[in-house]
A and B are shown apart, each in its own frame.
Chain A
Amino acid sequence: MIGQNEETSKIKAFFQEYRAEIKFVSIFTIGLVIAFLLVNNKRFADNFIRPITVAETFVASKVLNLIGYPNRQEGAFLSSANEKFFRMEVRNNCNGVYESIVFLMAFIAIQIPWRRKIGWMSFGFFLFHVINELRLITLFIIGRDYSAKTFVFFHETFWNFALVIMTLAIFIFCAYQVSKAPSSSVESPLREADA
Chain B
Amino acid sequence: MKRAELYAQLPLLMRRLFTLGLGAAIAFFVFWYMGGHNLWGHFLGFCLKITAFFYDLRFVPGDSEHAAILHHMFIEGGPASGIDLEFKINLLSAHMVEVVTLLAMWPTANRMAHLRLALWCLLFTVLYQTFDVLIQLHVQEIGPKLATRFEVMWEYDGSLWYKFIRKLSNFDKFILRYWAGFPIFLCALVLDHFTSKRLKITESGKKKN
Specify which chain B residues have a CB less than 8 angstroms from the CB of A161 in the assembled complex.
25, 94, 97-98
| Interface flag for B14 (CB, 8 Å) | yes
Q: Are B29 and A157 in contact (CB under 8 A)?
A: yes
A33 within 8 A of B: yes
Smallest beta-carbon distance B85→chain A, Å: 20
**Interface: A114 (CB within 8 A):** no
Q: Tally of A-B residue pairs with Cβ under 8 A?
A: 93
A 154-195 binary contact with B (CB < 8 Å = 1; else 0): 001100110011001100110110010000001111000000
| CB closest chain-A residue, reference B186 | A25
Q: Are B14 and A187 in contact (CB under 8 A)?
A: no
Closest CB-CB distance, B64 to chain A, in whole Å? 8
Which residues on the A side are within 8 Å of B33 (C-beta)?
A: 153
Rounded to whole angstroms, the CA-CA distance of A141 and B140 in the bound complex is 33
How big is chain A's contact interface, by range? 35 or more
Nearest-CB residue, chain B, relative to A3: B207
Contact B65 A179 (CB under 8 A): no
Q: Does B22 contact A (CB under 8 A)?
A: yes
With the chains together, A49 CA to B174 CA distance in Å? 14
Shortest CB distance A100–B (Å): 11
B97 to chain A, nearest CB (A): 6
Which residue from A2, A92, A99, A186 sits with its C-beta under 8 Å from B7? A186
Which residues of A are found within 8 Å of B197, using beta-carbon distances?
10
Residue of B nearest to A17 (CB): B3
- Asked whether, in the complex, the Cβ of A165 is within 8 Å of the Cβ of B10, the reply is no
Contact B22 A165 (CB under 8 A): yes
Contact across chains for B198 and A164 when beta carbons are under 8 A apart: no
